[in-house]
Amino acid sequence: MAEKFEGKLEQLDANRWRIPKGSQPSMRVDGVIFSSADLIDDVISGGGPKQVANVASLPGIVGASLAMPDVHWGYGFPIGGVAATDVNDGGVISPGGVGYDINCGVRLLRSNLDADDIRPQVEKLTEHLFADIPAGVGVSGPFTFNNKEMRKILERGVGHLVSCGLADRADAEFTESSGCLDQADADAVSPQAVKRGADQCGTLGAGNHFVEIQYVDEVYDTRAAAAMGMRMGQVAVMIHSGSRGLGHQVCGDYLRTLRSAPGKYGIELPDRQLVCAPVNSNEGQQYLAAMRAAANFAWCNRQLLAVQVRKSMSQFFGARDTDAALRQVYDVAHNIAKIETHTVAGESRKLCVHRKGATRAFGPGHRELPDALKRLGQPVLIPGDMGTASYLLLGAQTAMEQTFGSACHGAGRVMSRKQAIRHAKGRRIDAELARKGITARARGRTGLAEEQPDAYKDIDAVVRCVCSAGLAGKVLRLRPMGVIKG
């Protein structure tokens, strides 16, 4: 439940607000929130500032405790929070800084279809995908993996699916970190977590996860769009899902395992949900190994969802399957912690960067980007609510300087799921969307109510703030045509 922030909030400029270091006794650094004036009331009412200040107390934190304009209350860390700790100076890793849905993320696929050509078929196409894509709480999919295969997925990620013929090299190349975090260890993942994931790789889940048929309705950077194979009127598919029950179990397991770590290492915390351990401790390394394995599972989950979407659309369009063929634009993670090198106060330092509800936004030339994207920068995928729009941006050098190469991950909630259900009472959300030309289907009874457009901030305002702050630049906007939810 969101707590009221009683401290000081100072406006630095049109897009940044500061919580001074002394606002809470335990703060080691300032808090900095990226927000425009028209979003700040939602930021405050969502409880973000209180948690930003709490995160500023973590040992080894450098720069500032950061929040993106989509920030709102989360477990320990705010959703939309970014924090970097110095690995070699007592920096900690906190499961709350990653979240329960480890490597929840977004994948964008492009087709050769035009929106005007398929618009009359969108309702049937949505129904077809809805029948084919496994979605909903506890739902299993067509892929089941034994323990030996699960180990390969957990430790090799998308690379294993390439070797199995379930992904091609372009799928891996245009996935963040090539779809695999090194030093993942399947032995750090509990048998219960493995069991929960064995039949869930290639499933959508529920909550805010979705498969969405979209079309490009605005291009801001024609050259960058063309370089990524995108153009006006083009049909695309966006997939939003994560590590399912496996990631949830990993998080829960390590929240319990690390419960005694703060006392053991003399760490005082303003909120017990910030439970953590030094990155270089045995406990910290075990959690990192398990989190990396869950992240690899999540990338495989989105890859296998893409396999099913490709197959389903090919079957639907029949002879036109060449036009419907879906090529990967990019896949980004937004619940993850990574060991990265960044410049802090003119010095290169090895950091553990927590991004919870935040997307990596590396600028042009970064060594971790694939060659085809090096001159452009990191693609940043920002889904909005199912009634408005999503955006494709490119990371900028300013993000490297101000946010450890990070940007927002979505619109950000302004209503809890319970509030959204109450707000939807007596309404037909599917009918409201249909009047906008959007076909929406959900497995769960409350799925559409929980995710109604009113439950989210204005995605256009959030993206304007990110771009105005120089963290990323707009490439194009995508509008929804058909939506599938759990």
Residues annotated catalytic, as ranges: 409
Extract the runs of DSSP E, i.e. beta strands, from 121-271: 210-219, 234-241
User: In 289-305, which positions are buried (b, 16+ CB within 10 angstroms) versus exposed (e)?
Assistant: bbbbbbbbbbbbbbbbb
Return the structure tokens found at 170: 């372009």
Q: What distance separates the 2 farthest-apart alpha carbons in the chain?
A: 66
Neighbouring residues of 44: CB distance < 8 A, sequence distance ≥ 6: 5, 9
* Structure token pair of residue 429: 């959300």
Contact 111, 234 (CB under 8 A): yes
Whole-angstrom distance, CA of residue 41 vs CA of residue 140:
41
Residue with tokens 């291009």: 219
For residue 398, the SS3 value is: helix
What separation in angstroms does the CA of 432 have from each of 421, 440, 449, 453? 15, 10, 11, 10
Asked if 481 and 215 count as a contact pair (C-beta separation under 8 A), the reply is yes
Q: Kindly provide the residue ranges of all beta strands, DSSP E only, lying in 41-147, ordered along the sequence.
A: 65-72, 79-86, 92-93, 105-114
User: Could you tell me how far CA 352 lies from the centroid of its own chain?
Assistant: 18
